[in-house]
Amino acid sequence: MTISRLAAALALAACSLAHAGPTVTVKVIGFNDFHGNLQSPGTFGVNTTVPAAQRPAVGGAEFVAAAVARLKAGNPNHVVVGAGDFIGASPLVSALFFDEPAIESLNQIGLEFNAVGNHEFDKGSAELRRLQNGGCKTTNGLPDPNSCRGLGSGAPGTFDGAKFKWLSANVVETATGRTLLPAYGVKTFNGVKVAFIGMTLKATPSIVTPTGVAGLTFNDEAATVNALVPKLRAQGIESIVVLVHQGGFQSSPNLGDINGCDGNLAVAGGGASDIGKIVEKLDNAVDLVISGHTHAAYNCSAGTVDVRSVAGAVTVTPRPTGLPNKTGRLVPVTSASAFGRVLTDVDLTIDTATRDVVSVAATNRLVDRTDPALIQAVATNPATKNLVDGYAALASPLAGQVIGTITTALPNTANAAGEMPAGSLIADAQLMATQPAGLGGAVAAFMNPGGVRNPGFTGAAYPYALTYGDAFTTQPFGNSLVTMTLTAQQLKDLLEQQFAGCNGQTGQRILQVSNGVKYSWSASAAPCAKIVDLSLTPTDVSVVPPVSAGVAEEIVRAGLVLNPTKTYRVTVNNFLATGGDGFTVLMGGTAVLGGAQDIDALIAYLSSGYKAPAPAYDPADPALKLPRITRLP
């Protein structure tokens, strides 16, 4: 639909707008990046000023269902929508059963339309279609025993599939030219049709294993929407909502308020974010954008607030805003964090005569597990809780197995140099799995940071006994290890490709490195010239503590490769080996050898060296040679 510039200004200022005829208000309930989190992902605050001890437990499918039901009860005209990544990279309670539990819980939550995210392609388009349409998973031509448990389907031994519709307007089958899944969905309220266009990010092929997106083309997001506008208007549709799996982050000054839009999501230097670049090309007909992908919470709309903390005093100031479309009009853009922590509550008011949206009022709300009303609602209607508990019981024999002990938290948050405590441990595990000559003869391992999932390796108290479930939460993809030969020059090129602007890289992605690898990089240097020094000390990580197996060797000194043609055996996962995350250098590796799954390597590393009665894994142990990466000015 088209809102006049004057009307838009009034809507942003007052969240309401005078209109000629009667209106209907539609309750749009949105969320994103659920990732099969049937159980609570922990505590979460409305912003970072809330002390950790005061942040409530949030999420969990049964509480998401109760929160959605409460919002629905306030308005009979409602719709529940998603912005993608509702499956994939899931905890064991869902992933062990091929994410069928996630689908069944989302059916009970009442999801209706959902954009396809990049993680929906983790297992390929055929598996995505199975999850949409139903039916049991087969493995090697036989029914898989972990499929069709049917706790949330019509009967045991069945899987009904998704009752909601995945939408993929910009994902096209190369062979047929047709969209993989429907481009949009339409729902009618008091005679007024509202369209929901679903899309994933155009860059999906660069962050998904090639087999997952084989035979598919990912088109420009904004161009796809704009081409659909005339078709929708021909059906009498003037109210258009875009569900897109792409996003941004609030920028400085930022306290991370779930209803903030600090910096209008601009990146460093003031440029538009990834979601901003899409919105700035959108047709003026689009009324609302519900986004995802970054796992960030933001509310760039008439409901935006600026939260500031000065000398301990917190102030909250309303600042109606949005992101500019191609005409300059500010469009409401929202995102609801991830894992079911937050719901976006949107009141979309539509003139029933013109079918135009006349106001958009959006608020992000915590899914608070301490809310007495939600607790009572779960007790009154325990269907979703029973589903979650049932799958948790089925997974518990495997999930509860202790595999090792850690002395302190090893989160997946990076330091200034880009190094993650959890990432270093994982890289060491992959090196150990491929270090023997018969298994690859690796001297180094590299792990992509996006594959080290939240929260890393953490517990309630330390020392903490890590379980298989903990490990799987951090390494849920089932990637296999690949060992290959790279030259010294390729090693430097690989590390240079961590930074935006080098050989097609679009973002900064600092690889996690194994014991024995040390390097420094310059933040101010030009793309493809950031690596200052790189050295390798052969290290045996199969023993505890690890021991050096040779002298340190300089590979790069002052930015120069000392012996460009010398070769080294290195290990990565199959996602990276095929150019994932833009690391195309790895596609030039030679003498490639496949190996174990990443989760198996991780469990073997911890259980063989750090499981009681052996001493716990301690990142302060000098033998681990942490930190391994240095950031220079």
Decide: 307 and 260 in contact? Cβ < 8 Å: yes
The yes-or-no verdict on residue 118 having pLDDT over 90 is: yes
Going by C-beta distance under 8 Å and a sequence separation of 6 or more, which residues neighbour residue 474? 412, 422, 426, 452, 453, 455, 456, 457, 602
The yes-or-no verdict on residue 140 having pLDDT over 50 is: yes
Q: Which has the minimum average pLDDT: 192-196, 314-318, 371-375, 414-418?
A: 314-318
Q: State whether CATH 3.40.50.720 applies to domain 401-632.
A: no
Residue 496 phi, psi dihedral angles, 5° rounding: -65, -35
Query: Quick one: pLDDT band at residue 7, thresholds 50, 70, 90?
Result: very low
pLDDT of residue 351: 97
pLDDT of residue 310: 83
Residue count (the chain): 633
Within 444-542, strands assigned E span 444-447, 456-457, 464-467, 480-487, 512-513, 517-522, 531-536, 539-540
The yes-or-no verdict on residue 473 having pLDDT over 70 is: yes
The yes-or-no verdict on residue 13 having pLDDT over 50 is: no
Going by C-beta distance under 8 Å and a sequence separation of 6 or more, which residues neighbour residue 619? 407, 408, 410, 421, 424, 425, 626
Candidates 3.60.21.10, 3.40.50.1010, 1.10.10.10, 3.40.47.10; CATH matching 5-391: 3.60.21.10
Q: Position 515: which residue type? A: N
Among residues 467, 474, 478, 455, the alpha carbon closest in space to that of 606 is found at 467
Within 330-488, strands assigned E span 330-331, 333-336, 342-351, 357-366, 402-406, 410-411, 444-447, 456-457, 464-467, 480-487
First to last CA, the chain: 49
Decide: 70 and 377 in contact? Cβ < 8 Å: yes
Q: What are the tokens at 362?
A: 């959006």
How far apart are alpha carbons 470 and 617 in whole angstroms? 15
Among residues 322, 326, 335, the alpha carbon closest in space to that of 264 is found at 322
How far apart are alpha carbons 326 and 286 in whole angstroms? 11
Decide: 210 and 579 in contact? Cβ < 8 Å: yes
* pLDDT tens column, 597-615: 999 999 999 999 999 999 9
pLDDT of residue 365: 98
Q: What are the tokens at 56?
A: 């409530």
For the chain, the average pLDDT equals 94
DSSP 8-state code for residue 565: T
Q: Tell me the sheet residues that pair with 571.
A: 445, 483
pLDDT of residue 386: 98
The helix or strand, by DSSP H or E, that contains position 113, with its residue range, turns out to be strand 113-115
Decide: 152 and 109 in contact? Cβ < 8 Å: no
Mean pLDDT of the region 495-504: 95
Q: What are the tokens at 33?
A: 């990046």
* pLDDT tens column, 507-558: 899 999 999 999 999 999 999 999 999 999 999 999 999 999 999 999 999 9
pLDDT of residue 8: 41
Going by C-beta distance under 8 Å and a sequence separation of 6 or more, which residues neighbour residue 42? 57, 58, 455
For CATH 3.90.780.10, list the domain ranges present in the chain.
401-632
How far apart are alpha carbons 105 and 39 in whole angstroms? 11
How many CA atoms, within 13 angstroms, populate the side-chain half-sphere of residue 419?
21
Going by C-beta distance under 8 Å and a sequence separation of 6 or more, which residues neighbour residue 217? 171, 172, 173, 174
The yes-or-no verdict on residue 39 having pLDDT over 70 is: yes
Q: Position 331: which residue type? A: V
| Of 210 and 137, the one with more pLDDT | 137
pLDDT of residue 21: 57
| Of 596 and 462, the one with more pLDDT | 462
pLDDT of residue 20: 42
The DSSP result for 379-421, as a single string, is HH--HHHHHHHHHHHHHHHHHT-EEEEESS-EES---TTS--H
Residue 632 phi, psi dihedral angles, 5° rounding: -105, 160
pLDDT of residue 10: 33
Q: What are the tokens at 348?
A: 């979309």
* pLDDT tens column, 224-277: 999 999 999 999 999 999 999 999 999 877 788 999 999 999 987 889 999 999
Query: Quick one: pLDDT band at residue 119, thresholds 50, 70, 90?
Result: very high
Mean pLDDT of the region 482-505: 96
Reduced 3-state DSSP string for 154-214: CCCCCCCCCCCEEECCCEEECCCCCECCCCEEEEEECCEEEEEEEEECCCHHHCCCHHHHC
Query: Quick one: pLDDT band at residue 14, thresholds 50, 70, 90?
Result: very low
What's the predicted TM-score (pTM) here?
Answer: 0.87
Q: Which has the minimum average pLDDT: 200-209, 228-237, 481-490?
A: 200-209
pLDDT of residue 5: 38
For CATH 3.60.21.10, list the domain ranges present in the chain.
5-391
pLDDT of residue 506: 85
Among residues 60, 42, 58, the alpha carbon closest in space to that of 389 is found at 60
How far apart are alpha carbons 70 and 72 in whole angstroms? 5
Among residues 194, 37, 190, the alpha carbon closest in space to that of 112 is found at 194
User: Where do the H-state alpha helices sit in 513-582?
Assistant: 574-577
Q: What are the tokens at 296?
A: 């960030």
Buried b (16+ CB within 10 A) or exposed e, 166-177: bbbbbbbeeeee
* pLDDT tens column, 278-291: 999 999 999 999 99
